[in-house]
């Protein structure tokens, strides 16, 4: 590559945005040269990133500037990361595309292909249905070919990433009973709720407790249904009293002819050459501590062949593989450079 592609982030002060900043500052082949905010209340201010996030003190002196589409074009930005709320991304994506800028959106605003789902699951009307068909769903290991040519990439949600990666190969390989419901119990660290203060995520509310939330109404549910092409799935998220990480326990029925070796072969065939998916064998199972602060998705399982019961266990870092890490992985694919750069 003759020159380093220039990268911009809008919304760098949130958890996912800050993680992207940290990754890109150590990335050997791209240049993070622009941080902007879409927050109207901060349009006049230009703080340095280290003023807002002291972990970048003496690491980066980049300013957080007001959002300026023309300035992004002048700086020859190759890709813009949007680490912004759903409604904000919904409005910004069309404008960025009009300025001929490629976008990786970490919000849920362009993940669902059906316009009508947004009012029910996200609480706002979607006004750009043509872009829902145009967006590429960025589950890297599954959609890599489409990602290479993407101009608008919808980065997957954290829970769906942890659920889809174990299930898709087995589903496509015909090893699952398609008539049976799939049950997904997923547990996430508190950072999955985002940085905005909430009474439900205060330390005193979360510590020494464990609870289910948004039962039957979590916005990631239709995303999982969409990518599996089935609504025979019940998803329940839980809140863990830890900072980061997701552990998903997935209960499925297999076909009566499915064996443990068939599951092993199917998952290895799908992921043996994937740098960020690790298959647990020999009876070991994933844990959050094995994947925290990484871009790995670890997958393990136990099969009761007599009863056709399969329990899949997956673990990811919700800010890593569930958000910022996967977004950078997708950036690497879009730029045609080594997929692991900045992430290993």
Catalytic residues: 158
Give, for 222, the enclosing helix (H) or strand (E). Answer: helix 221-228
Query: How far is it, in rounded angstroms, from Cα 294 to Cα 341?
Result: 13
Give, for 313, the enclosing helix (H) or strand (E). Answer: strand 309-316
Query: How far is it, in rounded angstroms, from Cα 304 to Cα 5?
Result: 50
Q: Other C-beta atoms within 10 Å of 182: how many?
A: 23
Say if residues 314 and 144 touch (Cβ distance below 8 Å).
no
User: What is the distance in angstroms between the CA of the first residue and the CA of the last residue of the chain?
Assistant: 20
* DSSP code per residue over 12-81: TTSHHHHHHHHHHHT-SS-EEEEEEE--GGGTT---BHHHH-GGGTTT---BEEEP-HHHHHHTTEEEEE
Query: How far is it, in rounded angstroms, from Cα 308 to Cα 248?
Result: 20
Say if residues 344 and 217 touch (Cβ distance below 8 Å).
no
Query: How far is it, in rounded angstroms, from Cα 171 to Cα 225?
Result: 13
Question: DSSP assignment, residue 176?
Answer: B
Give Rg (Cα) of the chain: 20
Candidates 266, 263, 264; CA nearest to 254 is 263
Q: Give one word for 58, left, alpha or beta, with left for phi > 0 and alpha for psi -120 to 50.
A: left
* DSSP code per residue over 245-271: -EEEEEEEEBPTT--HHHHHHHHHHHH
């Amino acid at each position: 590559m003759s020159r380093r592609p220039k990268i911009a982030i809008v919304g760098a002060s949130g958890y996912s945005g800050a993680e992207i900043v940290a990754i890109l500052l150590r990335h050997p082949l791209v240049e993070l040269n622009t941080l902007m905010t879409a927050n109207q209340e901060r349009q006049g201010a230009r703080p340095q990133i280290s003023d807002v996030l002291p972990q970048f003190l003496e690491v980066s002196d980049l300013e957080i500037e007001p959002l300026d589409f023309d300035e992004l074009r002048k700086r020859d930005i190759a890709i813009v990361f949007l680490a912004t709320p759903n409604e904000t991304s919904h409005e910004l994506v069309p404008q960025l595309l009009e300025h001929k800028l490629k976008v990786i959106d970490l919000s849920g605003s362009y993940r669902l292909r059906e316009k009508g789902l947004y009012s029910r699951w996200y609480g706002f009307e979607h006004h750009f249905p043509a872009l829902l068909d145009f967006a590429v769903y960025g589950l890297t290991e599954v959609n890599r070919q489409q990602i290479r040519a993407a101009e608008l990439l919808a980065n997957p949600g954290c829970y769906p990433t942890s659920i889809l990666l174990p299930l898709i190969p087995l589903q496509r390989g015909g090893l699952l009973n398609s008539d049976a419901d799939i049950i997904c119990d997923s547990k996430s660290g508190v950072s999955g709720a985002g940085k905005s203060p909430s009474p439900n995520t205060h330390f005193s509310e979360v510590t020494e407790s464990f609870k289910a939330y948004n039962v039957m109404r979590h916005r990631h549910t239709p995303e999982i249904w969409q990518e599996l092409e089935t609504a025979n799935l019940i998803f329940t998220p839980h809140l863990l009293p830890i900072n980061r990480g997701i552990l998903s326990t997935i209960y499925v029925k297999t076909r009566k002819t499915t064996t443990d070796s068939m599951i092993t072969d199917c998952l290895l065939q799908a992921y043996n050459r994937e740098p960020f998916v690790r298959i647990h064998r020999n009876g070991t199972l994933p844990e959050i501590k094995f994947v925290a602060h990484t871009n790995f998705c670890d997958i393990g399982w136990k099969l009761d062949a007599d009863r056709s019961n399969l329990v899949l266990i997956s673990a990811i870092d919700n800010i890593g593989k569930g958000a910022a890490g996967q977004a950078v992985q997708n950036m690497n694919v879009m730029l045609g450079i080594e997929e692991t750069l900045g992430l290993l």
